[in-house]
Amino acid sequence: MAYLRSLIIGGSLIAVAGAAAFAQGGAAAAPADTANDPIRILVARLDLEQYKATIKGLTEFGDRRQGTDRNRKAVDWIEAQLKSYGCTPTERIKYTYTTPQRGGGRGRGGAGRGGAGGGPTVPVGGVIATGKSPTPAQGGGRNWGIRTRTGVNTDSLKQPDAAIRAIDSQPATDGEREEVYCTKVGTTHPDEMYIVGGHMDGHGWGQAANDDGSGTALVMQLARVFSDPNVKTDRSIRFILWNNEETGTNGARAYIEQRAALQGKEDPAGSGKYPEPKWLGMIQHDMMLFDHGMPRADGTVSPEQRPEADVNIEFQATSKFADGAQKMAWFFKSANEKYAADYPARVGPHMTNTDSGPFQDLIPAISLRENERGEQIGAGWDPHWHQPTDVYATFSDKDFRLGLNAAQTTLAAVAELTGARIQK
């Protein structure tokens, strides 16, 4: 009960003005007049075919591995799309990435990331545990039931499509990196913003269609809807496509290092312009398509999206801003209940291994995914994760629709949080 009470009346726990709506009990208030509800109108502007086409466009650049020409070309393509939506001006963060020496790097690096902890003799997809004894999951919680080996494919010959293999063939080299963003400027509080992110880099000798073409396309489609000049918001929204997530969230860390101190400063003074509005919350989207359930006893996973598929909204219970993050997570779940078409959302406390992580001790931060990252993806629920099979053709409309429902969820929640309306 104490937990529930703090959720409902603890609005003051979040020191952000834009999050005041959380104090309403985590419920996004939908006007009774649903036909004229601006949020419903905006959600209806999301479209499955446009979402799929954006993912398809990203997969033309193969796995978009950081430090390659295909990654740089993908950044250019994303920027051109954002401009075509009217999300201008676009801007870029520049930083240098150097591969850490083996054993000396911070965080997760390279192929060591994402292993479920099984021995290297077990191939990907091979059953390593049936969960009879408790083992800890990444990010907290524990592994339940059947668990299979996961990892990052580094073998080009496992990609059967010669064209994809050729696109993915250039190796990464250390050096300068870029990542692109654009901003919807708020009318009454241009000095405050929510950050809506996904990561555009991938690896594994596929097309990074799901990880994270699906999250990148979601962010781009939200940028399209909010950039309509007739859509006005009180607060600002930044749409950003992180680079170098797969090497350890280096793009998100570079952004924080370069821009945290600029928050809320008017520049030039008296201009009414805020190059870095104060951060109210960070919402990350990473792997949005595939929720086919737990691996079976033989290590295989159902070829069909399970009817119980859901969008997993995670916050990190051990983070400094856990209270605010958890309220934001429940607020998103409420927005899902009101505005998503096909799939529900669930909230979990173990957000991990994604670009919202570097923000979690600075501001309320959450992630949206197809499954919980630690207990489920980490236990082999997505057999395409970092594999040559993460290609556009692997996924069906039922899969793409899960991503679209996540887009509906974030669009509705962010529209409510920023006071979105449609000018007649």
- Residue number, 212 or 399, with CB nearest to Zn ion: 212
Residue 94's SS3 state is strand
* Element spanning 327, H or E: helix 322-339
Q: How far is the CB of 283 from Zn ion (least distance, A)?
A: 15
Q: How far is the CB of 315 from Zn ion (least distance, A)?
A: 18
* Element spanning 48, H or E: helix 48-59
Q: How far is the CB of 199 from Zn ion (least distance, A)?
A: 6
- Rounded distance between C-alpha atoms, residue 380 and residue 124, angstroms: 9
Q: How far is the CB of 212 from Zn ion (least distance, A)?
A: 4
Letters for 237-276 (x = contact with Zn ion by CB under 5 A, - = none) are: ----------------------------------------
Give Cβ neighbours of residue 283 (< 8 Å, ≥ 6 apart): 194, 195, 196, 197, 328, 332, 356, 365, 366, 367, 368, 410, 413, 414
The CA-based angle 48-291-404, given to 5 degrees, is: 20
Q: How far is the CB of 32 from Zn ion (least distance, A)?
A: 40
Region of 38-46, 228-236, 279-287, 333-341 interacting with Zn ion (CB under 5 A):
279-287
Site for Zn ion in 46-65 (CB under 5 A): none
- Residue number, 14 or 289, with CB nearest to Zn ion: 289
Residues in contact with Zn ion, total (CB under 5 A)?
Answer: 3
- For residue 398, the cross-strand partners are none
Report whether 364 contacts 16 (CB < 8 A). yes
- Name the packing angle between helices 397-417 and 48-59 (round to 10°): 110
Q: How far is the CB of 208 from Zn ion (least distance, A)?
A: 8
- Residue number, 225 or 289, with CB nearest to Zn ion: 289
- Rounded distance between C-alpha atoms, residue 278 and residue 264, angstroms: 5
- Residue number, 199 or 278, with CB nearest to Zn ion: 199
- Rounded distance between C-alpha atoms, residue 124 and residue 204, angstroms: 12
- Residue number, 26 or 151, with CB nearest to Zn ion: 151
- Rounded distance between C-alpha atoms, residue 232 and residue 242, angstroms: 25
Region of 266-274, 278-286, 302-310, 335-343 interacting with Zn ion (CB under 5 A):
278-286
- Residue number, 360 or 418, with CB nearest to Zn ion: 360
Report in angstroms the alpha-carbon separations of 252 from 50, 196, 355: 27, 12, 6
- Rounded distance between C-alpha atoms, residue 158 and residue 160, angstroms: 6
Q: How far is the CB of 42 from Zn ion (least distance, A)?
A: 26
- Residue number, 129 or 377, with CB nearest to Zn ion: 377
Letters for 148-187 (x = contact with Zn ion by CB under 5 A, - = none) are: ----------------------------------------
- Residue number, 125 or 204, with CB nearest to Zn ion: 204
Residue 417's SS3 state is helix
Q: How far is the CB of 198 from Zn ion (least distance, A)?
A: 8
Site for Zn ion in 185-224 (CB under 5 A): 211-212
- Residue number, 193 or 209, with CB nearest to Zn ion: 209
Q: Where are the beta strands (DSSP E) in 20-146?
A: 91-97, 127-129, 135-136, 142-143
Sign of torsion over alpha carbons 107, 110, 114, 115: negative
Q: How far is the CB of 373 from Zn ion (least distance, A)?
A: 9
- Rounded distance between C-alpha atoms, residue 398 and residue 403, angstroms: 9
Q: Which of 79, 168, 179, 286 binds Zn ion (CB under 5 A)?
A: 286
Contact positions vs Zn ion (CB under 5 A): 211-212, 286
